[in-house]
Chain A
Amino acid sequence: MLRRTVLHKTLGLVALGLISLGVTLPAHAAVTPDAAKTLVDGMAAQAISTLAAPDRTDAQIRETFHGILQQNFDFDGIAKFVLGRYWRTATPEQQTEYLKLFGDYIVGIYANRFSQYSGETLSVGNVRQDGEDAIVSTRINLTRNPQPVAVDWKVTTGADGKPRVSDVIIEQVSMSITQRSEFASIIQSGGGQVEALLARLRAKTGAR
């Protein structure tokens, strides 16, 4: 009887120890499937309510998307991944400018894509764990085509410890990997200079 109580107390202390250890390591915690699903659900609801609103202007859509992406995407993580090994060869000034341009570029792309919105819906399917990350499978139901588009959202733990989208995988094609391949190609044909990419990004984002 007495032994049992001691055992319970010991276990309780161990558990307390584990919990306190856990509290000191929040940034490296794995994303739970529930948290990932909540993130994607919330983002879809936010996006669709904006798009479905009558008399929306392109400027409004862009602004709203900027907000949604800033809140839900691991922008800096994506930007660094996409720049690959060239992140380390960039000067601190180039890194800062790149992060800003990359954000504008992505917002521009999504605002473009979503400005053609015509009542598409998103249905969230299953969530699977992928190491520390979680992958949320969704389907975008199109209005003109009976075949839905499969979109997977990779959710990771952001620098702030919150779940954030780190990649969008459309029909098995990763947007981050595609962009990394593009950016590497631009830098390589520009003689290995990150400036070559920055010039293109400036032109693209300025021209919009």
Chain B
Amino acid sequence: MTVARLTKLPLLSLLAALILLPGCASTSADYQSAEIADPLEGLNRAVYGVNTGIDYLITGPASYVYREAVPSPFQDVIRNFFRNLELPIIAMNKLLQGNIDGFGTAAGRFMVNTVAGVGGIADIASHAGLKYEPTDFGITLASWGAEPGFYLVLPLIGPSSLRDGIGRGVDWYADPVRILADNNEIDGQLMIVSGLRYLDTRAAYDAAIRDTRKNSLDPYAAFRSLFAQSRAAEIKAQLAD
């Protein structure tokens, strides 16, 4: 019975296994808690190499053009729009994390900006104290006690971990906005929005990425450490709320 249920729910059994994984991260003081195991280093370095190549040739220059050529009020509108579309899945994650206040903020923000903000292009909610507080299913898993597992470099997306990679998959699968777009055959338009979001995010990290590539003796290892530390800090801050 139990076995049958588990095989019906491969995701759940995977999650259970993940949560039971022995902690790979050390657990000492504040900034020390951020080492991440990398058993797939060979594969990860290969994906990192491809990502870096694509970034040099396409996405890096594209994000530069986006940032320099698109007037910043338009960039703000685009950012408001895609951030608004993230709110349903953010609200669901806040609920799963047991963060009722966070759920209220995300849900309230979605209603205010969708209605008063004309489909999310104006961020009225921030002025009303409903701040944009992103979260994801990787953090939900962490709130249930899951460790990062090990380091993963995802194609195009970049640094992640076993836990956070699964989190991304679940967020994509369960996202009400994506499901709605799929059902109404506007998934092409949603792809364009995702593309703009990618360029916007890439542009925000531009200084850090260029600095690391220029100054680091082993940029792959540097990015791995930067990811592990900042992700651990982000999760710690969110779970302390």
Contact = CB atoms under 8 A, between A and B. Distances in A.
Nearest to B217: A200
B31 A113 contact: no
B230 A173 contact: yes
A175 to B, nearest CB: 10
Interface stretch (B87-95, B154-162, B188-196, B208-216): B208-216
A181 B215 contact: no
Nearest to B38: A185
B16 to A, nearest CB: 30
Contacts of A112: 214-215
Contacts of B214: 112
Interface of B is mostly: helix
Interface string B205-225: 000000100111110111011
Contacts of A178: 222, 225-226, 229
A9 interface: no
Given A109-B215, A177-B32, A178-B226, A186 B221 contact: yes
A171 B229 CA distance: 10
Contacts of A174: 31, 34, 229
A179 B211 CA distance: 14
A205 to B, nearest CB: 10
Interface residues of A, number: 24
A181 B35 contact: yes
A173 B220 contact: no
B124 to A, nearest CB: 19
Contacts of B229: 172-174, 177-178
Interface string A142-184: 0000000000000000000000000101011110011101111
B166 interface: no
Contacts of B225: 173, 177-178, 181-182
A29 to B, nearest CB: 20
Interface in B10-37: 29-32, 34-35
Contacts of A130: 29-30
B233 interface: yes
B139 to A, nearest CB: 15
Contact of B226 (A113, A167, A173, A201): A173
A204 interface: yes
B222 A181 contact: yes
A186 B31 contact: no
B238 to A, nearest CB: 12
B143 to A, nearest CB: 19
A201 B222 CA distance: 15
A186 B233 contact: no
Given A171-B230, A173-B230, A181-B225, A186 B218 contact: yes
Contacts of B226: 173, 178
Interface of B: 29-32, 34-35, 211, 214-218, 220-222, 224-226, 229-230, 233-234
Given A109-B215, A200-B217, 15 more contacts: A113-B211, A130-B30, A167-B31, A172-B229, A172-B234, A174-B229, A177-B32, A177-B229, A178-B222, A181-B221, A181-B224, A182-B218, A182-B222, A185-B221, A201-B217
Interface of A: 108-109, 112-113, 130, 167, 169, 171-174, 177-179, 181-186, 197, 200-201, 204
Give the top 5 A-B pairs by smallest Cβ distance, nearest first. A172-B233, A185-B221, A181-B225, A174-B31, A178-B225
24 contacts: A108-B215, A112-B215, A113-B211, A130-B29, A169-B31, A171-B230, A172-B229, A172-B230, A173-B225, A173-B229, A177-B225, A177-B229, A178-B225, A178-B229, A179-B222, A181-B35, A181-B221, A182-B216, A182-B218, A182-B221, A183-B217, A185-B218, A200-B218, A201-B217
